[in-house]
Structure 1
Amino acid sequence: MSTKKNAFQRPLIASSAAAALLGTAALFAPAAGSASAAGTAVDTTPVKVCLTGNTSTTAEFTVTLPKVAVDPVLQATPSYLGPCASYGTPSALGNGNVRTYAQQEPNGKPISMGFVFPKTMLQNLPTTMTDQHHCYDINGNGVIDEHTECMGGHERPLDLPTALTNTPDIPYKWALLNYNTMGHGPAGIYDLPHFDFHFYVQPKAERDAIRPGPCALAINCDDFATATKPIPSQYMPSGYIDNGVAEVAMGNHLIDQSSPEWHGQTFTQTFIYGAYDAKISFLEPMITKAYLEGLATGANQSGCFPIKQPQAWQVAGWYPKDYCIKYRANRGDYTVSMENYQHS
């Protein structure tokens, strides 16, 4: 038997249920010229699917199916729209773990890059304000107040898939998840339990070198000055402003002044840009725990949202025009991703 034939058969035998569905789906695609085909339009557009069997969610194979077959496969198995993803190293949090993933075209162009985690990760999360990794005795009383003198919540630094980072023109170096048990300032805006999903352009060693101190959000005052250097106007994202919200081990945060939480509405999700030394340092969807839980219950809908762009990017490469927040019921997991990439 040829290698090519084996490659074709491998995904089909990954799950007997999936194999049966593929056969069943063929029944919905009548032969051209038949009476059924003439009377009923059946969409046979080819669609890539990452086929995953019910008995093993770790075995994934990219296959191309007629569009009519896709929904039955996704409903009956933990499969997802392809191509199959590559993954970073998982890190434990709550009753689960979080890791990064990337889906790419054959030429390396990113399709989707993000975080993926099971529904169970939202259970049994830390209850303290922070993990006390980034603290400074601001008032000098010899006692650390984790509510006012510690930043970063509970953080999980994550590597990106090597298939992604080995691709030319990928500006992203690593990722960082922060869980903020009680939110953070400004009071009345972001003081709800939420997650910060950082995609870093800045190397991790440079980020780690942003020292604690008494300025702004527990940041060293010299590093505060570096973090708040003005971004050249052509690189400043449209509609964003600098409020001097610079933080230890993170840098400055640029705010979308049109986001609903700044106009009397309750914070649910938004998009932040990070800055350090007059350069964009990270891109960050920020999402409340309640919003994510609402996706699983149906109170909120999975979807994508536009990312406001600068006129130009300081580092050439692939940059997203959308960020997406999704719950995949057939897999019982969430993805927080950046998508719709354009080369700059």
Structure 2
Amino acid sequence: MENLFTLPKKIIVLGSLFFLFSCSQDNMISTDLQNNEYMSFTAKMSAHKLIAFKGPQVALGYGKVRSWISVDSNGHPNEIGLEITPEAFKNLATDNNKTVPPDGKTIVVPLQLKATQLTPFDHIGLNWNPHGHEPKGVFDVPHFDIHFYMISAKEQLAIPAWSPETDTAFNNYPPLGYMPADYFTPPGSATAEPQMGKHWLPINLGAYLPFSKIMIYGSYNGKFIFVEPMITLDYLLSNVDFSANYSQPEHFEKAGNYPTKYNIYHDSVSGNTYITLSDFVARN
């Protein structure tokens, strides 16, 4: 959620990368986790073998970012998220004319085919906010938004800017029970973002201040469409690991495997940072 209230959004679709990748183009890694540094900081990845499927790399700063999903021996999803190389944080200027990626833009990070088959997610949208966004004193610090979308990129791109004419779609909320009971969204144009949707915040927002990390929900035109970890740059650079459950809806429109925990961790050998969702539960 790049600007909680006012800033417009545009999507950077990196060539045809998002639409043309396939399982054969991505990496599939069978790994014994006891001997693999890539997975070494994930508490839920035990000593038995998992298979990691990686999406294509996308440029970020001087480095790269890519999606990945790990699958257990029974074919169930174990964890999904982003792998970010340390160089990715080295060219994130605060000057909007030089920022990589530009302030106000979204980088689409494709998911590997296996991830779309085993989870409700379609793609990840990554935003860098060098000045944060409103409300002042809450989210106005440099941070990343990581949207795990459950709609296609085409549907996401079609979400318009808020206006009196589009207000009905933004404020057509999912039925009772299809968003977490302890989340809310203000009425009107507040938190309504083009090419994103309506953003939902924890009712006890003060418990997350001063802001370093938080989980946001999103909806549009009656549907729950994304979950979004928001994490400050300072927290990511601190190399402090984190894992916590996040609130769940009572009902789900689509049956499938839904994560219940979000995680931030670092690999001391590679220097990579991981932002992930895990602890999947099969929902009817």
Shorter-chain TM-score tier: 0.7 to 0.9
Does residue 1:234 correspond to 2:201, yes or no?
no
After TM superposition, list the pairs within 5 Å mapping 1:32-111 onto structure 2. Answer: 60-63=29-32, 70=34, 73=35, 80=40, 83-111=50-78
- CA offsets per residue over residues 55-110 of structure 1, 9 Å max, x none? xxx8954237xxxxx3xx46xx6564552411112111111011110001233321
1:323 corresponding residue in structure 2: 262
Shift of 1:271: 0.1
Q: Is the 8 A contact 1:182 1:192 kept in 2?
A: yes
Q: Is the 8 A contact 1:131 1:154 kept in 2?
A: no
Shift of 1:196: 0.6
Q: Matched residue of 1:166: which SS?
A: helix
Aligned-CA RMSD value: 2.4
Matched AA of 2:104: G
Shift of 1:130: 8.3
Structure 2: gaps (5+ residues): 1-26
Q: Is the 8 A contact 2:124 2:149 kept in 1?
A: yes
- With the length of structure 1 as denominator, give the TM-score of the two structures: 0.66
Q: Is the 8 A contact 1:322 1:339 kept in 2?
A: yes
- With the length of structure 2 as denominator, give the TM-score of the two structures: 0.79
Q: Matched residue of 1:187: which SS?
A: coil
Does residue 1:184 correspond to 2:151, yes or no?
no
Distance (Å, rounded) in 1 between the aligned partners of 2:155 and 2:121: 14
Could you tell me which of 214, 223, 227 is aligned with 1:283?
Answer: 227
Could you tell me which of 139, 150, 154 is aligned with 1:205?
Answer: 154
1:273 corresponding residue in structure 2: 217
1:119 corresponding residue in structure 2: 86
2:192 corresponding residue in structure 1: 246
Q: Is the 8 A contact 2:264 2:276 kept in 1?
A: yes
After TM superposition, list the pairs within 5 Å mapping 1:253-264 onto structure 2. Answer: 253-259=199-205, 262=206
Structure 1: gaps (5+ residues): 1-57, 65-69, 133-150, 213-218, 296-300
Q: Is the 8 A contact 1:194 1:286 kept in 2?
A: yes
For the structure 1 residues 78 and 98, does the alpha-carbon distance in structure 2 shift closer, same or farther, using more than 3 Å as the test?
A: closer
For the structure 1 residues 205 and 131, does the alpha-carbon distance in structure 2 shift closer, same or farther, using more than 3 Å as the test?
A: farther
For the structure 1 residues 339 and 238, does the alpha-carbon distance in structure 2 shift closer, same or farther, using more than 3 Å as the test?
A: same
Query: How many residues end up aligned between the 2 structures?
Result: 245
Q: Is the 8 A contact 1:130 1:180 kept in 2?
A: no
Q: Matched residue of 2:165: which SS?
A: helix
Relative to its length, the structure with more helix (as a share) is 1
Give the percent of matched residue pairs that are identical in Structure 1 and Structure 2.
Answer: 29
Does residue 1:312 correspond to 2:281, yes or no?
no
Distance (Å, rounded) in 2 between the aligned partners of 1:235 and 1:191: 29
1:50 corresponding residue in structure 2: none
Matched AA of 1:231: P
Distance (Å, rounded) in 1 between the aligned partners of 2:202 and 2:194: 21
Q: Is the 8 A contact 1:95 1:124 kept in 2?
A: yes
Question: Greater relative contact order (Cα 8 A, min sep 6): structure 1 or 2?
Answer: 2
Q: Is the 8 A contact 1:271 1:286 kept in 2?
A: yes
Shift of 1:131: 9.3
Q: Matched residue of 1:191: which SS?
A: coil
